[in-house]
Amino acid sequence: MTARVGILISGRGSNMQALVRAGGDAYRVVLVASDKPDAAGLAWAAEQGIATLAHSGKRGEREAAFDAALRGAGVEVIALAGYMRLLSDDFVARWAGRIVNIHPSLLPLYKGLDTHARAIAAGDAEAGCSVHVVTAELDAGDVLGQARVPILPGDTPDSLAERVLGVEHSLYPKTLAEFVKR
């Protein structure tokens, strides 16, 4: 059975695009929603013929609108892809165990923001990304998959982010396809 996936974004949505492009027998992206009406990824998704929704209002109203649209579209699993808002405990509870996220660090290292700068400052030899289940606690749910890249001499947060993003785009579709089959 092909799982119906909804994606939440806030920005360019390169991970969302990778998920849409890779969707096959395992899952299909049926809705892309954003808290930012001008998110570049929304226009791209609409061009692909995917239903889109933007809601820039207060969190309660925004999440109610997302929840209604996701349920209306028959979504079974939500993938966060650069969605830069904290979800309320209530929203997470309503979708318990059915929301996943990609985070640009090797969790449990570097939860939260500025992950690449923190990995470089710590002198780490490796960085990477993690796909994890979303729970009420930030970046703390079960890790479903990880990909690693080296940190090279002279790396800046931007150069490292670009290297990590390259592996995000293959890790996320692969991990989501495995997750929806569980």
Residues that bind ligand GRF (CB under 6 A): 9, 11-15, 81-82, 102-104, 129, 165, 168
CB 17 within 8 A of CB 41: yes
Q: How far is the CB of 105 from ligand GRF (least distance, A)?
A: 9
Over its C-alpha atoms, the chain yields an Rg (Å, rounded) of: 16
Nearer to ligand GRF, 45 or 180 (CB): 45
d(CA 147, CA 106): 8
CB 171 within 8 A of CB 146: yes
- Backbone CA torsion sign across 92, 97, 99, 101: positive
Q: How far is the CB of 77 from ligand GRF (least distance, A)?
A: 17
Q: How far is the CB of 111 from ligand GRF (least distance, A)?
A: 12
Neighbours of 146 (CB within 10 A): 17
Nearer to ligand GRF, 59 or 111 (CB): 111
Nearer to ligand GRF, 13 or 141 (CB): 13
Nearer to ligand GRF, 95 or 110 (CB): 110
Q: Which of 55, 103, 116, 169 is catalytic?
A: 103
Neighbours of 154 (CB within 10 A): 6
169 is catalytic: no
The residue of the chain with the least Cβ separation from ligand GRF equals 82
Active-site amino acid positions: 103
